[in-house]
Structure 1
Amino acid sequence: MTVVKTLLFFLFLTITTTTCSSLASHFEQLNVEEEMTATKLKNLPKETEDLEEEQGNWKVQILHRDKISTAPAKDHTTRFNQRMKRDVKRVSSIVNSNSHAYTEAAEEASFGSDVVSGTEEGSGEYFVRIGIGSPATYQYMVIDSGSDIVWVQCQPCDHCYNQSDPIFNPALSASFTGVSCSSSVCDQLDDAGCHQGRCRYEVAYGDGSYTRGTLALETITLGRTLIRNTAIGCGTWNQGMFVGAAGLLGLGAGPMSFVGQLGGQTGGAFAYCLLSRGSASSGSLQFGRQALPLGAAWVPLISNPFFPSFYYVGLSGLGVGGSRLNISEDVFRVTDLGDGGAVMDTGTAVTRLPTLAYHAFRDAFLAQTTNLPRAPGLSIFDTCYDLNGFVTVRVPTVSFYFSGGQILTLPARNFLIPADDAGTFCFAFAASPLGLSIIGNIQQEGIQISIDGDNGFVGFGPNVC
């Protein structure tokens, strides 16, 4: 059975909890041989300016970092370990920035940054190529659903990291306009600075990397669409290594993100597909209500006024083998202080769950996989299997339960993943400190994800990528 057929068969979402009629429906097949083949890098053209012409209005391609890296590691083991190290940093940053106690301490020690993002130095996983300025110069940009600013490295650079494209020169753009300190746009920043009448921005990241510079209005080219007067940070002092990317396209829920600035033009709506691992194709990112598919299963977004940049979803429970686990919904709720809850994040790879929930989830999965040979834990994973020599294996289904009754049952390849080149597969979940749940991109791969910010919903499916 092909991956696409597997996804179509096992990606089901229902409005009410369903009862399966047979034991077989609680299990699915993981194609071990196919998953190991998918760990091999496949070529994709790096020069993609012409590919923008193939996209429709408000739509661009999404590329994984391995597709644009100048020298990705050849072996899967090295790439996997690097990815997990980035992931640990990413999660640490998100957990810290979403901790009420941490935030109060950070405010006392603040050096004037207006935004704290979850993105770590070098941790960008997915990229788009967009045009900046007039005429447009195309740049790779990290996409981050947990960040509320758009910024790009700018000449003249006081300090810039290496990027794959020439650094943007605002002097060559007819549409570049600096933002004055008295502008209402400058007022959108929590703690804006002012230098020689120009609005200054500064964004600090979880590992101490940052970008500093001048806020400006500029034209962004997205597919065949021009978005004029977009507020962007023109960074002349930047510390970080974003795999050669020129900057970051913030897709968070706040007013200064790219989504927030589009506002009425797109109705606060966008959709994305993170293509499954091992594909030589690309994913997609599309803005506007036309991107919202008919037939999606809609899950409510949860408001968290303490951390408005993140997309919180109403996760209420977990299931293994067709049975919902006995875990209190309170484990996944946002507290009165804004702690906890469940965040959808494109930058985190592995889904994190509160320790109590993770242990129950893991133990239920272990209880139904006693027929599979175990392997020692690897990296952040404590539940691994030695599947060397297997062609396929049968594994129990894994499901997310959401408030309102919707259920998302994941394809097997989205929760049992190859961790090395020797046939070790690991259960792709981990415990989260401080009770915050994060639904990561491994679990999102191959599934159409839609955000309807205006109406407060996130949609899953109905199509696969």
Structure 2
Amino acid sequence: MADRILAVVIATVSLMLVFMPGMVSSGFRFRISPKQQKGLRDLFKDHAADVAGSLLPPSPSNGDGSNNNVPTHAPATTTVAYFINFTIGSQVVYGAFDITSELVWVPCKVCSYEDTSSCTTGTGTPGVYLAQHEEIYACGSVFCMHPQNYCRGANNACSYTYTYGGSDGGKTTSGYLAFQNFTFGDTNVGKVNFGCGPSNDGYFGDSGVVGFNNGRFSLVTQLQLGSFSYYFPPEDAPADTATFFVVFGDDDGVVPRTSNPRYYTPFLTLPDGTYPNLYFVKLTGILVGGKDLLAPNGNNGGADAVLSTSVPVTYLEKTAYDLLKDELKNVLGTSNIVSGSALGLDLCYTSQYMATAYQKLPAVSFVFTGNAVMELKTRNYLYRDDDAGLECLTILPSQDANGLSVLGSLIQTGTHMIFDIQGKKGLSFESFDQPSPATAPPPFSTATTIGRFVWCATAVALACMFL
């Protein structure tokens, strides 16, 4: 079943970098390829629950989708990860792009601490960095003064442990804190502190994680980036906009502007001060057919929502979710609702019914503080599985005690997401889509065609290329 869903796809990502003043600006191309890796999916699934309190997807429904319980192991709740290939020293490594993580780390072997016979560059496992002793921070280093860093053994090396997911099932990477020159494409950004992880719970394979949150050890903080942005193209995007990209620094003059409006909404800090390094925005409205579902209900001023690049589905505060679900049921009817438990989703219809019901679907938009309107296409919130004969809503109810929501990567597909960290703009976003009537979302098929939903393709204008 998992082979049939978008969520099993983990793609190696091409990257376009633009650096802050004083750093070299460069657009470049390099090879990317699709990858599938269950360990990273499990890691990010645990991390998603940790990010939004105890965000646990509920158990499956057996009837009309009214029971809000969906198993966490179901395909739709596993995650999509986008991999960046880059160079540490002279060695090519891979890391999953994650805006909710702080640490930059890669699978690693420290030559001076282990069998030196396999520590010559080019003779080790692909993707596993071979570090020299002098690259590891000593215990007395100022960079070792961090709650998650400590010293162990007799080698005077600064060690770290980083856990994804706060529950007993969380995944952990541990190893040594190191430093080395990082190169993205042809651009050397200088020395970056990173985790050299020889011990990774066996879940991470040959890939690490590149943290882009606002924490001390994230790549954003270390490179002193005032802003960054990214774009997840949809499967059916035109060739000139069908590439995934990341921009470091200001996107002006780098990413072509469209005729679509660019909206702005401020980042917010949670009242209790939790998760200070994550990117939160305020969801103030859900428009369905022009009707704001949240306005007549008060909804305590909206829902606090954290942005995620590692969780595909969106988790809405339960009241907001129930309002959206009820409105869609009112529009589409209830006679063709079927259980979505096999896909890990809640509200599902038969594909046969939905083939003729699309004309009933009204326009759907999310509204954020500042009247920033994110217009959604059906692909942003519906998933079609031809093998199961189902079409389902890819939005689930949040079970977080504080009502936190998570805006997953599917909601962001087709939209250029711009993070102004040091300035006053907060989050900006701009659709790369052209206005079009509601159409059915593309189906997702078996692993034999897994490459067709890798979110990266050719785009000369954006200086990235799928080869």
Q: Which amino acid is 1:440 matched to?
A: G
Q: Greater CA deviation, 373-382 or 214-223?
A: 373-382
Equivalent-residue separation in structure 2 for 1:94 and 1:182 (angstroms): 31
Q: Which amino acid is 1:211 matched to?
A: T
User: What corresponds to 2:93 in structure 1?
Assistant: 139
Q: How many equivalent pairs are there? A: 371
Which of 387, 407, 410 aligns to 2:376? It is: 410
Which of 81, 88, 91 aligns to 1:126? It is: 81
Structure 1 gap segments, 5+ residues each: 1-36, 73-81, 100-121, 334-340
Which of 299, 316, 319 aligns to 1:356? It is: 319
Equivalent-residue separation in structure 1 for 2:414 and 2:335 (angstroms): 26
Cα offset for 1:426? 0.6
Provide closer, same or farther for how the CA distance between residues 88 and 154 of structure 1 changes in structure 2, counting only shifts above 3 A. closer
Matched, 1:320 2:288: yes
Task: Answer yes or no: is the 8 Å Cα contact 2:213–2:220 preserved in 1.
Answer: yes
Provide closer, same or farther for how the CA distance between residues 343 and 367 of structure 1 changes in structure 2, counting only shifts above 3 A. same
Matched, 1:463 2:427: no
Matched, 1:451 2:419: yes
Q: Which amino acid is 1:153 matched to?
A: P
User: What corresponds to 1:155 in structure 2?
Assistant: 109
Matched, 1:200 2:159: yes
Cα offset for 1:371? 8.7
The 5 Å alignment of 1:80-91 reads 89-91=46-48
Task: Answer yes or no: is the 8 Å Cα contact 2:7–2:78 preserved in 1.
Answer: no
Task: Answer yes or no: is the 8 Å Cα contact 2:51–2:275 preserved in 1.
Answer: no
User: What corresponds to 1:383 in structure 2?
Assistant: 347
Provide closer, same or farther for how the CA distance between residues 306 and 86 of structure 1 changes in structure 2, counting only shifts above 3 A. closer
Q: Which amino acid is 1:271 matched to?
A: S
Equivalent-residue separation in structure 1 for 2:186 and 2:427 (angstroms): 26
Provide closer, same or farther for how the CA distance between residues 63 and 414 of structure 1 changes in structure 2, counting only shifts above 3 A. farther
Provide closer, same or farther for how the CA distance between residues 429 and 62 of structure 1 changes in structure 2, counting only shifts above 3 A. farther
User: What corresponds to 1:307 in structure 2?
Assistant: 275
User: What corresponds to 2:443 in structure 1?
Assistant: none
> How does the TM-score come out when normalised to structure 2?
0.69
Task: Answer yes or no: is the 8 Å Cα contact 1:60–1:222 preserved in 2.
Answer: no
> How does the TM-score come out when normalised to structure 1?
0.69
Provide closer, same or farther for how the CA distance between residues 405 and 129 of structure 1 changes in structure 2, counting only shifts above 3 A. closer
Which of 284, 293, 307 aligns to 1:344? It is: 307
Task: Answer yes or no: is the 8 Å Cα contact 2:262–2:430 preserved in 1.
Answer: yes
Provide closer, same or farther for how the CA distance between residues 205 and 41 of structure 1 changes in structure 2, counting only shifts above 3 A. closer
Instruction: Encode CA deviations 1:381-433: one digit per residue, 9 max, x unaligned.
Output: 22111123827722122211111112111011111111452431111111111
Matched, 1:271 2:263: no
Q: Which amino acid is 1:204 matched to?
A: T
Aligned residue for 2:276, secondary structure, equals coil
User: What corresponds to 1:215 in structure 2?
Assistant: 177
Cα offset for 1:446? 1.6
Cα offset for 1:449? 0.8
User: What corresponds to 1:330 in structure 2?
Assistant: 300
Task: Answer yes or no: is the 8 Å Cα contact 1:276–1:446 preserved in 2.
Answer: yes
Identity of aligned residues (%): 25
Equivalent-residue separation in structure 2 for 1:441 and 1:166 (angstroms): 26
Cα offset for 1:463? 2.8
Q: CA RMSD in A?
A: 3.9
Which of 365, 376, 393 aligns to 2:358? It is: 393
Q: Which amino acid is 1:69 matched to?
A: Q
Equivalent-residue separation in structure 1 for 2:228 and 2:299 (angstroms): 28
Structure 2 gap segments, 5+ residues each: 19-24, 57-76, 116-123, 434-455, 457-467
User: What corresponds to 1:29 in structure 2?
Assistant: none
Q: Which amino acid is 1:197 matched to?
A: N
